[in-house]
């Protein structure tokens, strides 16, 4: 346990602090939008452990004012939400639905009325079902048209835009291990999807700028990868290549890392790469978001360990998280946040960084109506200390967004894993701020002056 484990950090006055959610995980109101690949995936028996579907989720759209009042009462500066592409363009092609755009227009206005800065993510995994998928160049072009249309409508009021959330997850959990939508298990398609997601990002950046949007950028989930022994160094490098360097090198204008090309040549011919795409992907960023939860420790193993299928072509190895772990089985390692931010700062010098997600799933105790989540409080406290350390070491971190405002649909884990600082009752959907929400309220009230 670190020396600062029980000492409360004081938030710097110039750090923007908020919370984050994502459309499919919280919105509900499925009737008000087209279908996404997550609606299709949720219908596959066993794909989501508890059979959860996108309705009602947290019923966030209908209860937005109540949720916003909570955000404001806790004292947060910013709220990061995602736009559901099929809500504003049901098939991903053709006409935009004004009623869909109106939903987000109202959300932005209400946030601003409360003095909370809206941060918009354009793609948090709910791809319109009718599109051909991320293996296709067309999907990237359609994304840019969609990004431009949303920015035309909201660009005068949104303070910050993320094109994509965690393209590694969308590409590899969706197309290599198949535990996320669309549930494919095709290593070549996973790599082509990662590439076209990044192309969508680059074309989206241009569309956002053309529409006058302020501060466009992207959100990655960079993860420090540590080899446990020399025998696992090659596997660790492979994992680092697919998870981190592929994205950072593309964004920095260095193209595809040569070792990644070579290690995947057996199942991917890379014939989809075009010079013009690479230039678009390297469009300068106004900021980069890092979603940090944990690290990866890679140990030698005779046969591939669970989860390794998400890194096609990886030499045999196993993940070896150390205790303590969260309910997701993810190691709690606050120092890794500094390593992740340093990785981004080194690859993309001069680009301001934000921690766009950070948080933990735990079983909460409900005692006489109060929700005790002291492990989550400890997690936040320790990670804020790490963030302060990163800033002290000169890394330009401008914002921090806790994941998540609400207990929501944790993708394939359904409602079985809770990340919220506000509890959502499984039966009534009633909201109850947890101990961690009150901890944030105290930290925000006690922040240093700018």
Nearer to ligand IFM, 268 or 341 (CB): 341
| Residue-wise burial string across 318-350, b where 16 or more C-beta atoms lie within 10 A, e elsewhere | bbbbeeeebbbebbbbbebbbbbbbbbbebbee
104 CA to centre of own chain? 19
| Nearest approach, Cβ of residue 176 and ligand IFM (Å) | 17
| Nearest approach, Cβ of residue 291 and ligand IFM (Å) | 5
Binding mask 217-256 for ligand IFM (x = CB under 6 A): ----------------------------------------
Binding residue for ligand IFM (CB under 6 A) from 357, 364, 375, 407?
357
302: annotated active-site residue: no
Residues binding ligand IFM: number (CB under 6 A): 8
Nearer to ligand IFM, 171 or 263 (CB): 171
Nearer to ligand IFM, 228 or 364 (CB): 364
Q: Does 27 bind ligand IFM (CB under 6 A)?
A: no
Token couple for 165: 């959330």
Backbone phi and psi for residue 119, each to the nearest 5 degrees, phi listed first: -120, 120
Q: Which of residues 407-446 bind ligand IFM (CB under 6 A)?
A: 410, 419
Helix (H, G, I), strand (E, B) or coil at 150: helix
Nearer to ligand IFM, 27 or 166 (CB): 166
Q: Which of 27, 166, 290, 413 is catalytic?
A: 166
What does the DSSP assignment read for 241-258?
Answer: IIIIIHHHHHHTT--S-H
Nearer to ligand IFM, 144 or 162 (CB): 162
Contact 412, 177 (CB under 8 A): no
Q: Does 290 bind ligand IFM (CB under 6 A)?
A: no
| Nearest approach, Cβ of residue 229 and ligand IFM (Å) | 28
Nearer to ligand IFM, 25 or 232 (CB): 25
Q: Does 22 bind ligand IFM (CB under 6 A)?
A: yes
Helix (H, G, I), strand (E, B) or coil at 279: helix
Q: Residue 108: which H helix or E strand, with range?
A: helix 98-113
Q: Which of 27, 357, 375, 410 is catalytic?
A: 357
Nearer to ligand IFM, 165 or 192 (CB): 165
Helix (H, G, I), strand (E, B) or coil at 383: helix
Contact 199, 140 (CB under 8 A): yes
Burial of 446 (0-12, 13-18, 19+ CB in 10 A): exposed
Please enumerate in sequence order all residues whose Cβ is within 8 A of that of 437, keeping only pairs 6 or more positions apart, or say none.
70, 74, 421, 422
| Nearest approach, Cβ of residue 219 and ligand IFM (Å) | 9
Q: How many residues does the chain have?
A: 450
Nearer to ligand IFM, 125 or 143 (CB): 125
| Nearest approach, Cβ of residue 408 and ligand IFM (Å) | 7
Helices marked H in 348-421 — which ranges? Answer: 374-392
- 98-113 and 64-74 helices cross at what angle (nearest 10)? 30
Helix (H, G, I), strand (E, B) or coil at 176: coil
| Nearest approach, Cβ of residue 367 and ligand IFM (Å) | 26
Q: In this structure, how many other beta carbons lie within 10 angstroms of the beta carbon of residue 450?
A: 7
130: annotated active-site residue: no
CA dist., res. 38 & res. 135, Å (int): 17
Q: Which of residues 385-404 bind ligand IFM (CB under 6 A)?
A: 403
Token couple for 50: 């508890």
Contact 419, 37 (CB under 8 A): no
Q: Which of residues 82-141 bind ligand IFM (CB under 6 A)?
A: none
Token couple for 335: 């120092």
CA dist., res. 255 & res. 59, Å (int): 42
Binding residue for ligand IFM (CB under 6 A) from 39, 59, 166, 290?
166
| Nearest approach, Cβ of residue 274 and ligand IFM (Å) | 29
| Nearest approach, Cβ of residue 22 and ligand IFM (Å) | 5
Binding residue for ligand IFM (CB under 6 A) from 163, 264, 291, 436?
291
What are the catalytic residues?
Answer: 166, 357
List residues binding ligand IFM (CB under 6 A). Answer: 22, 25, 166, 291, 357, 403, 410, 419
């Amino acid at each position: 346990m670190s020396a600062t484990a029980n000492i409360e950090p004081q938030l710097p006055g110039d750090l923007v602090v908020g919370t984050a959610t994502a459309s499919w995980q919280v919105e509900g109101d499925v009737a008000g939008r087209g279908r996404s690949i997550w609606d299709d995936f949720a219908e596959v028996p066993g794909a989501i452990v508890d059979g959860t579907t996108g309705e009602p989720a947290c019923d966030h759209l209908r209860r937005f004012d109540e949720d916003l009042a909570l955000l404001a009462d806790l004292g947060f500066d910013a709220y990061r939400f995602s736009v559901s592409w099929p809500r504003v363009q049901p098939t991903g092609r053709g006409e935009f639905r004004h009623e869909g755009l109106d939903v987000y227009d109202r959300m932005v206005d209400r946030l601003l009325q409360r003095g909370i800065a809206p941060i918009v993510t354009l793609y948090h995994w709910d791809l319109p079902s009718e599109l051909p998928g991320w293996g296709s160049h067309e999907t990237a072009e359609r994304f840019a048209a969609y990004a431009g249309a949303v920015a035309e409508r909201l660009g005068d009021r949104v303070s910050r835009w993320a094109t994509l959330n965690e393209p590694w997850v969308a590409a590899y959990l969706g197309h290599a291990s198949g535990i996320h939508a669309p549930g494919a298990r095709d290593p070549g398609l996973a790599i082509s999807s990662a590439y076209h997601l990044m192309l969508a990002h680059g074309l989206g950046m241009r569309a956002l700028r053309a529409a006058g949007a302020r501060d466009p950028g992207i959100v990655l989930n960079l993860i420090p990868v540590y080899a446990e022994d020399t025998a696992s160094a090659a596997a660790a490098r492979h994992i680092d290549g697919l998870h981190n360097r592929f994205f950072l090198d593309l964004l920095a204008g260095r193209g595809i890392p040569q070792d990644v090309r070579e290690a995947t040549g057996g199942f991917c011919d890379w014939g989809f790469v075009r010079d013009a795409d690479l230039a678009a992907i390297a469009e300068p960023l106004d900021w980069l978001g890092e979603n940090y939860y944990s690290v990866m420790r890679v140990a030698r193993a005779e046969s591939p360990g669970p989860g390794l299928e998400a890194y096609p072509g990886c030499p045999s190895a196993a993940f070896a998280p150390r205790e303590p772990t969260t309910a997701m089985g993810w190691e709690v390692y606050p120092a890794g946040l500094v390593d992740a931010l340093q990785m981004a700062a080194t690859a993309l010098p001069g680009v301001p960084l934000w921690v766009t997600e950070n948080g933990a799933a735990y079983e909460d105790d409900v005692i006489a109506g109060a929700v005790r989540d002291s492990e989550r409080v400890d997690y936040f406290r320790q990670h804020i200390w790490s963030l302060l350390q990163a800033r002290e070491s000169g890394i330009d971190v401008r914002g921090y967004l806790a994941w998540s405002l609400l207990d929501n649909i944790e993708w394939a884990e359904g409602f079985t894993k809770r990340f919220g600082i506000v509890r959502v009752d499984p039966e009534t959907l009633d909201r109850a701020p947890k101990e961690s929400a009150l901890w944030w309220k105290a930290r925000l009230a006690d922040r240093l002056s700018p």
